[in-house]
Amino acid sequence: SPFQLDRESTVNDILQANRSAMKRLQDSMPAVLEKSGKGQSPHTLWVGCSDSRVNECTTLGCVPGEVFTLRNIANLISYQDFSSMSALQFAIDVLKVKRIIVCGHTDCGGVWAALSSKKIGGVLDNWLAPVRQIRAKNLATLKSIEDPFDKCTKLSELNIANSISEIRKHPSFVTASKHNGLEILGFIYDVKTGLLREIET
């Protein structure tokens, strides 16, 4: 297996994996941890999905301290979600990030669920309601796509665009984009290749 840990890993396994990882980082880039100890000044806010296959630092080749992260199921931005709104405000107003990346991905479980007419139950149905609304608004386009994986990817792209649209309404973003040149980008990550593709928003 390529994985460092698994379902059977013990506390000692986790601690050892941490020590090994930090030793590799210290040996290869000793300035990173020293800089981390003095505070953070990330250049980017990453809004992504919680999916275990998509990691912002692995994807961008970044090290700790470069990227401030907001992740949730299906990379949603909702004005009813205090976590999303707080992370946006903090990243823009306090950390002064220069760009925001909204990154969805192929084979997204949240998007697959939104494509299905079946209810999941619990809070997940409420959380995914915005993706189902996007699906309803774009039903003709989605119905014209025969391959189910291509359909899932298309809805993921539409969902990314919607999250970007929501961020652009945020008061902090409106001010920072006007006065500080804050930019926002949309990408979709291919879980089979690990590559990003920019989407039009």
Are 88 and 182 in contact by the 8 Å Cβ rule? The answer is no
Going from the N-terminus, what domains does the chain have, and what CATH number goes with each? 1-39 (no CATH), 41-198 (3.40.1050.10)
Instruction: Classify residue 149 as exposed, middle or buried by CB count within 10 Å of its CB (0-12, 13-18, 19+).
Output: exposed
Answer whether residue 200 shows pLDDT above 90. no
Rounded Cα distance between 14 and 119, Å, is 36
Give the H or E element holding residue 48.
strand 44-49
Confidence band (pLDDT; 50, 70, 90) for 201? confident
DSSP character at residue 75:
G
Task: Give the strand pairing for 183-189 and 99-105.
Answer: parallel
Tokens of 190: 């291919």
Rounded Cα distance between 74 and 179, Å, is 30
Arithmetic mean of pLDDT, 143-157: 98
Please identify which residue in the block is written with the tokens 């291919």: 190
> Residue 71's Cα: distance from chain center in Å?
5
Which pTM value belongs to this model? 0.94
Answer whether residue 158 shows pLDDT above 90. yes
Report pLDDT digits (tens) over 93-148.
Answer: 999 999 999 999 999 999 999 999 888 999 999 999 999 999 999 999 999 999 99
Those residues whose C-beta lies under 8 Å from the C-beta of residue 127, and which sit 6 or more positions away, are: 73, 74, 76, 110
CB atoms within 10 A of CB 114: 24
Report pLDDT digits (tens) over 27-70.
Answer: 999 999 999 999 999 999 999 999 999 999 999 999 999 999 99
Confidence band (pLDDT; 50, 70, 90) for 1? confident
Instruction: Classify residue 8 as exposed, middle or buried by CB count within 10 Å of its CB (0-12, 13-18, 19+).
Output: exposed
Share of the chain above pLDDT 70, in %: 100
